[in-house]
């Protein structure tokens, strides 16, 4: 076919084109730098969590050693490991962790907003906290966002494609070679598609190779079949995103007569799809589903359960009652249970608000292909809102189980033992079924391909109008 001839010719030209090589080389360097930055962020977070878990493990071993030497007498101090109240509130508290996904370096995503480690105690409300041993994030990072592969591909990758494709057809006309090329047995359509296909192949090859190299140098965990499934989704997203922008370049070249106009139109399209529309979607989500305020939730809970809170504070503030006595502990547990029953509907409503907000964003993501790519990359990296909400729900479900373990021992008025410490419930994050993740990402890839096909359909009539572009 004629376009294949053009493809081979364009491929040979690209191999000698210094400007195209410079663009691809600079992009490859930026991709490696972004991968290293994403890998460093993921490694710092993982090291902080590991340090937190190790500190908890050391504390547990210390208490286990103490319980092995202490007798079965009543606790003698407020921090005695034989006291189930102390052990439930502090001594045997469990830090539950959202483990990093295999391709965590791809996107920091929601990790800056949601805790990756949550400390579960017998308190009436879970103390959600980010692990405390990781270095704090500076204000510049908070304002500008992380520089990682997701940022590079969503924001800068389209500009690279624009630089390689804005003059697919207009450049030949302006150099005076279009009429000569079309005098050969090749159509204008074959000429443009062949040139676009060659440049898309070159860019996709460089992108895939350096994206994989970036995963290796960033320390991604590639030792499992699950990881390589994520790699396949990652590559599919990048190819789909590239084809969308090359299709846009073909459409603009088909209906414009100069390279300047092509560049202006493509940059304008980038501005609308990558900057303006995602900003409007964010405003729409905040307007129709405002983010729930943690401080407001705390205030509402205190207002609704004011009497119970006062009763609990009165118990804890009395000096004429021994806080280590079994009677005091049972009374406190009973009051806390009433407080839990009173506040649970509000906490459930808070979680439902977060779910509604996520569902609204999931629907509005189709307003911009950039949003689709961003959210899909976060899904592949394991840093998206869907995974964090799943983790939060599992922690909420684990809290009553953990609390019940200690309240039953408090009710029995029996000293906490080494056997009890070994039996303290633990939680391991249960990932979502692989099919759900694949489904979400494939929908995004399919949408990008449909948009690319639609742009080529729009370009088709313009590609067949030879006279306007050659005169």
- Concatenating the DSSP letter of every residue in 22-33 gives HHHHHHHHHHHH
pLDDT at 441: 95
Go through 260-293 and write b for each residue having 16 or more CB atoms within 10 A of its CB, e for each that does not. Answer: eebbebbeebbeebbeebbeebeeebeeebeeee
Each residue of 149-163: pLDDT tens digit? 999 999 999 999 999
pLDDT at 328: 61
Q: Please choose, from the candidates 115, 145, 109, the residue with its C-alpha nearest in 3D space to the C-alpha of residue 379.
A: 109
pLDDT at 190: 80
In this prediction, the residues of the chain whose per-residue pLDDT falls under 70 are 1, 72-78, 112, 124-146, 171-172, 174-186, 291-343, 346-347, 350, 465-471
Enter the DSSP assignment of 101: P
CA distance 214 to 210: 6
Unique residue bearing structure tokens 């202490």: 70
Residue 218 · residue 36 · CB < 8 Å = yes
Residue 148 · residue 37 · CB < 8 Å = yes
CA distance 154 to 365: 14
pLDDT at 138: 44
pLDDT at 308: 54
pLDDT at 135: 45
Number of other CB atoms surrounding residue 452 within 10 Å = 22
Label the pairing between strands 127-128 and 117-120: antiparallel
pLDDT at 224: 86
Contacts of 1 (CB under 8 A, 6+ apart): 190
Q: How far is CA 286 from CA 173, 193, 274, 347, 374, in A?
A: 48, 42, 19, 20, 18
Global pTM value: 0.86
Go through 26-47 and write b for each residue having 16 or more CB atoms within 10 A of its CB, e for each that does not. Answer: ebbebbbebbbbbbebbeebbe
CA distance 145 to 109: 9
CA distance 132 to 125: 19
pLDDT at 211: 95
pLDDT at 440: 93
pLDDT at 315: 52
pLDDT at 188: 78
pLDDT at 305: 54
The span from the first CA to the last CA of the chain, in angstroms, equals 26
pLDDT at 450: 97
């Amino acid at each position: 076919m004629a376009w294949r001839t053009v493809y081979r010719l364009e491929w040979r030209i690209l191999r000698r084109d210094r400007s195209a090589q410079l663009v691809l080389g600079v992009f490859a360097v930026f991709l490696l730098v972004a991968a290293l930055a994403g890998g460093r962020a993921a490694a710092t977070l993982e090291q902080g969590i590991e340090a937190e878990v190790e500190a908890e493990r050391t504390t547990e071993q210390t208490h286990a050693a103490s319980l092995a030497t202490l007798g079965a007498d009543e606790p003698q101090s407020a921090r005695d490991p034989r006291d189930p109240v102390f052990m439930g509130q502090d001594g045997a508290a469990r830090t539950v962790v959202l483990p990093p996904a295999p391709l965590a370096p791809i996107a920091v995503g929601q990790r800056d907003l949601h805790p990756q480690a949550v400390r579960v105690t017998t308190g009436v409300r879970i103390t959600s906290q980010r692990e405390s041993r990781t270095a704090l994030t500076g204000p510049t990072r908070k304002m500008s966002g992380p520089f990682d592969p997701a940022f590079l591909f969503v924001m800068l990758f389209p500009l690279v494609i624009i630089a390689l494709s804005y003059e697919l057809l207009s450049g030949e006309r302006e150099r005076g070679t279009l009429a000569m090329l079309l005098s050969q047995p090749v159509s204008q359509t074959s000429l443009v598609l062949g040139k676009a296909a060659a440049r898309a192949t070159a860019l996709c090859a460089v992108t895939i190779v350096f994206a994989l190299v970036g995963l290796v140098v960033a320390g991604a965990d590639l030792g499992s079949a699950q990881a390589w499934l994520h790699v396949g989704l990652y590559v599919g997203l990048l190819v789909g995103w590239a084809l969308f922008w090359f299709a846009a370049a073909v459409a603009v070249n088909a209906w414009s007569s100069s390279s300047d106009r092509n560049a202006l139109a493509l940059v304008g399209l980038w501005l609308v799809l990558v900057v303006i529309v995602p900003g409007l979607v964010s405003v729409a989500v905040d307007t129709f589903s405002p983010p729930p305020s943690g401080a407001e939730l705390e205030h509402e809970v205190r207002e609704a359960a004011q009497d119970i809170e006062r009763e609990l504070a009165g118990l804890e503030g009395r000096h004429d009652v021994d806080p280590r006595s079994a009677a005091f502990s049972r009374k406190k547990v009973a009051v806390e249970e009433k407080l839990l029953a009173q506040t649970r509907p509000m906490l459930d409503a808070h979680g439902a608000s977060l779910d509604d907000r996520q569902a609204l964003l999931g629907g509005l993501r189709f307003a911009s292909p950039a949003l689709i790519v961003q959210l899909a990359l976060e899904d592949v990296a394991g840093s998206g809102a869907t995974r964090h909400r799943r983790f939060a729900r599992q922690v909420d479900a684990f809290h009553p189980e953990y609390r019940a373990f200690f309240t039953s021992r408090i009710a029995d008025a029996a000293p906490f033992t080494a056997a009890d410490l070994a039996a303290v419930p633990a939680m391991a994050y249960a990932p979502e079924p692989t099919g759900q993740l694949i489904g979400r990402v494939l929908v995004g890839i399919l949408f990008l391909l449909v948009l690319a096909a639609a742009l080529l359909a729009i370009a088709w009539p313009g590609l067949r109008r030879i006279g306007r572009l050659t005169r």
